[in-house]
A and B are shown apart, each in its own frame.
Chain A
Amino acid sequence: MDKVTSILLVGVGGQGTILASKLFSEAMAEEGFDVKMSEIHGMSQRGGGVSTQIRYGKKVYSPIIGEGCADILVSMETAESARWLNYLKPDAKLIISDYRIYPPEVLSGREEYPQTTIEDLSKVADVTVVHAEKLALEAGSAKCMNIVLLGALVKGLGLENSVDWNGIIEKTVKPAFIEMNKKAFRLGVEAVS
């Protein structure tokens, strides 16, 4: 209980990274943990990367982590995961969506989209690939990819049974989308062994 858990959630502007982080942080606060969450969204609306950090435990001082401190990384976009590796503990868990968003550098042909991210990382680290788009579509809409990955994060931390996640989704999501998000969450949980 004294241990502080550090989570890094990364993606690209518009993927719902901040909403997923908010849901998780509020759930942890309700569980009685001290929680801090930090977001950098400088120019996210203009296609840049987004990262949020969540830390929870009995007492949390710093809202951000430095190099070598994250217990788990959730990457909503495949290649974005590579940008944050220095922030991970050597034995960190990585949950990576196979969903790709090509940056202008690639679209314009100036750079090549990395093809080997998952392969390279899997060689040395504990990587789970989540087919987030497929699962989100199965739940009802590609828009709930962030909730699929939230489910995956929760399972990755072993918190799937200790918190009433359905209740939290019911409280935060618009009524019309509750069932879809619950399903997305469940599919995310099931995607991690």
Chain B
Amino acid sequence: MKKLLTGNEAIARGFYEAGGKVASAYPGTPSTEILENISRYKDELYCEWAPNEKVAVETCIGASMAGARALAAMKHVGLNVAADPMFTFAYTGVNGGYVLVSADDPYMHSSQNEQDNRHYARAMKICMFEPSDSQEAKDMTMKAFEISEKYDLPVMLRTTTRVCHSKSLVEIGERVLPEMRPYVKNRMKYDAIPAISRLLHTKVEKRAKALAEYSESCEFNYAIDNGAKIGVVASGIAFQYAREAFGDSANYFKVGFSYPLPIESIRKFASSLDTLYVVEELDPFMEDQLKAAGIPCIGKKKLPIEGEFNPTLVRECLLGEKVEHLDVKTPLVGRAPTLCAGCPHRGMVLELGKVKDLIISGDIGCYALGGGEPYNAKDCTICMGASISMAHGMNKAFEQYGKDRKVVSIIGDSTFFHTGIVSLEGLVYNKGKALTIILDNRITGMTGHQDNPGSGYTLMGEPTADISIEAIVRAFGVKNIKVVNPLDLKECREALKWGFAQEETAVIITRYPCALKKYTQQDIDEFGKLSKCTVDQSKCIGCQACVRTGCPAILFDRKTNLANIDSIQCTGCEICKQVCAVGAIGK
């Protein structure tokens, strides 16, 4: 039976069919749905959200060592967080098969950078598959488990947004559950201390040779001969673009097992050609290796190193064809993402934006949308958890030069549990004075509402301990803590004033559920229900103070010069009511 599946659904299916038993991940676009789909098989396996990618990878290492097939999934930048355990796990190798999914995001549809994680496979000296559609995503996931156990190493499955989020037809199979592999204590394999690791490194180099040989015969690396004089080497989604652009006018070498590269097979493929193109998104990963092996080819000289490809782009860059399109001039309107109606981040972000000469160190999450108009509540973002440590570093630098600058960090609950927690540990330990604001909306919002260590539920839907952020901060020894309701602007404003006045480390925690969150019983008990706001138009003076809250539920009619509230979008948060000077907004 064939089904239309996204790449992520297909990876989940592949894990299930291959007898996978333990999966762990931290959400991140475009990888999030892998674990969400694995959780549909929860009666037959175990899966979880880890607090961050390093923990996910390590949990799966444990499961593999114990003898089960395990899979860890993450977005590209997640692998930076998880790189430490992965580099050494590459030395020890596995017991049960291990698949690491790295989902890259060319064009940065929803990411902070565009790094090409294929370099990691090479740097870690492990091997890598790159699917180009959903069928391959499933097949390669299953094959990766086999290769992992055969060659004794973790195997990377590298996807990109378009593979993860595109649907194509997949043949559905049965789950085959292998016996658990016996756990045998073996320090010479699993205890990475210098004396043992030196021996393991020798093993790794030997393994690399065996993998290079395997690559030459791997069924996912193959040539398509159309009797042409132009040849294309391509991997991942770029293969589909090239195939569409060149049709039957080129020969193809489809690279599915892309590290180590099947160099000799490509050399042979290239030998009868006049021109060899390498079509790969982002870095010249294959191109550089082919050139180093003395195989002349053209890649980044003609194709961009930035962003995504598509068939038209390949056609224009390599075939020099100009593709005509509908040509009409008509005005466009902006539609940038904004904080939702009723977003509990709005209150604090609005108040932060009003503070003069404040440096706001931002983090990754919905509150990042507070950087733009009308909030202007952010100076910088680097990566998850960095807001607190960066604010700390700024504060210390200003102190060194005797400058009195106010610095705050803002960070979400999921991001706090991810790595913000250790940043705060560092700040407290080092007597940091930058103010920390933790925006707890009781869920991981940005990536689509995944539970986290503070939300009270597991990925498998079971109630669990909800870890109190306030208790953690207190346990660190912070004495100055304020928990505020972010729907109350005055409370936010006063908390900020209080925070800036403290001589020692201070932390503000806002606590209110995401406006899009499905309330748990605990949420209902704690926060209750809100009723919607309305505008009494006889009182409205058209001053637009409500409009400047940035709430998308507020409609301003420029003909009548009056505000109105969209009753479908309004959640009743009352932020607009609080800024209305004439009392025109009520319930």
Complex Cα spacing A69 to B325, Å: 7
Q: Does B182 contact A (CB under 8 A)?
A: no
* Residue B285 is within 8 A (CB to CB) of chain A in the complex: no
Binary contact readout B156-191 vs A (1 if CB under 8 angstroms, 0 otherwise):
000001100111110000000000000000000000
Tell me how far the C-beta of B93 lies from the nearest C-beta in chain A, rounded to whole angstroms: 35
List of B residues within 8 angstroms of A113 by Cβ? 333
B267 part of interface (Cβ distance < 8 Å): no
CB distance from B560 to the nearest CB of A (A): 13
Q: Kindly report which residue of chain A lies nearest to residue B247, judged by CB atoms.
A: A61
* Nearest A residue to B516, CB-CB: A45
Q: How far is the CB of B461 from chain A (nearest CB, A)?
A: 21
User: How would residues 225 to 243 of chain B score, 1 for a CB under 8 Å from any chain A CB and 0 otherwise?
Assistant: 0000000000001001101
Partner of A61, one of B240, B324, B366: B240
Contact B335 A103 (CB under 8 A): yes
Q: Is the pair A43, B110 in contact by a Cβ cutoff of 8 Å?
A: yes
A69: nearest residue on chain B (CB-CB)?
Answer: B312
Residues of A within 8 A of B241 (CB): 61-62
Contact A86 to B335, CB < 8 A, known contacts A29-B169, A46-B369, A108-B547: no
Please give, as numbers and ranges, the residues of chain B lying within 8 Å of A116 by CB-CB distance: 330-331
Contact for B325 among A36, A43, A68, A103, CB less than 8 A? A68
A-B contact count (CB 8 A): 184
Residues on B with beta carbons closer than 8 Å to the beta carbon of A45:
340, 448, 516
Please report the C-alpha to C-alpha distance between residue A190 and residue B562 in the assembled complex, in whole angstroms. Answer: 39
Is A177 an interface residue, CB under 8 A from the partner?
Answer: no
Knowing A46-B340, A85-B328, the reply to whether A25 touches B556 (Cβ < 8 A) is: no
Let me know if B558 is at the binding interface, CB within 8 A: yes
**Cα(A38)–Cα(B162), bound, Å:** 7
A80-129 CB contacts (< 8 Å) to partner B: 80, 82-83, 85-90, 92, 102-114, 116-117, 120-121, 123-125
A145 → B minimal CB distance (Å): 14
Question: Is A163 an interface position by the 8 A CB rule?
Answer: no
Residues on B with beta carbons closer than 8 Å to the beta carbon of A38: 162, 165-167
Instruction: Collect the chain A residues with CB atoms within 8 Å of residue B373's CB.
Output: 108, 110
Partner of B332 from the list A26, A68, A79, A88 (CB cut-off 8 Å) is A79
A40 at interface, CB cutoff 8 A: yes
Give A26's nearest chain B residue, CB to CB.
B4
Query: What 1/0 mask marks residues of chain B from 399 to 431 whose CB sits below 8 Å from any chain A CB?
Result: 000000000000000000000000000000000
Q: Indicate if A167 sits at the interface (CB-CB under 8 A).
A: no
Is the pair B167, A36 in contact by a Cβ cutoff of 8 Å?
A: yes
Asked if A108 and B548 make an inter-chain contact with CB atoms under 8 angstroms apart, the answer reads: yes
Question: Among the listed B2, B133, B312, which residue makes an inter-chain contact with A29, where contact means beta carbons less than 8 Å apart?
Answer: B2
Chain A residues with CB under 8 Å of B369's CB are: 46
Which residue of chain B has its CB nearest to the CB of A64? Answer: B310
Chain A residues lying within 8 Å of B243, measured Cβ to Cβ, are 61-62
| A121, B328: Cβ atoms closer than 8 Å | yes
**Min CB gap A43→B, angstroms:** 4
In chain A, what residue has the closest Cβ to B314? A66
Nearest Cβ on chain B to A113's Cβ, whole angstroms: 6
From A62, A85, A87, A108, contact of B556 by CB (8 A): A108
Is A46 touching B337 in the complex (CB atoms < 8 A)? yes
What 0/1 readout, one digit per residue, does chain A (55-73) give for beta carbons within 8 Å of chain B?
A: 0000011111111110000
Write out the residue numbers on chain A whose beta carbons fall within 8 Å of the beta carbon of B167: 25, 35-38, 63
Residues of chain B within 8 A of A105, CB atoms compared: 333-336
- Distance in angstroms between the alpha carbons of A158 and B566 in the assembled complex: 38
Contact B338 A46 (CB under 8 A): yes
Determine if A92 and B548 form an interchain contact, defined as CB atoms under 8 angstroms apart. Answer: no
26 A-B contact pairs sorted by A residue (CB < 8 Å): A48-B337, A49-B335, A61-B240, A61-B243, A62-B237, A63-B166, A63-B237, A65-B312, A66-B323, A67-B312, A68-B312, A68-B325, A79-B333, A82-B332, A85-B326, A85-B328, A102-B555, A105-B333, A105-B334, A106-B333, A107-B555, A107-B556, A112-B333, A116-B331, A120-B330, A125-B328
Instruction: List 8 extra interface pairs beyond A35-B169, A108-B550, CB under 8 A.
Output: A42-B110, A46-B369, A48-B335, A63-B168, A66-B310, A67-B325, A105-B333, A120-B330
Residues of A within 8 A of B (CB): 12, 25-26, 29, 34-43, 45-49, 60-69, 79-80, 82-83, 85-90, 92, 102-114, 116-117, 120-121, 123-125
- B-side residues, CB < 8 A to A, are 2, 4, 29, 109-110, 133, 161-162, 165-169, 237, 240-241, 243-244, 310-313, 315, 323-340, 366, 369, 373-374, 448, 516, 544, 547-548, 550, 552, 554-556, 558
The 8 closest A-B pairs by CB, nearest first: A66-B312, A68-B325, A66-B310, A63-B166, A43-B337, A120-B330, A46-B337, A68-B323
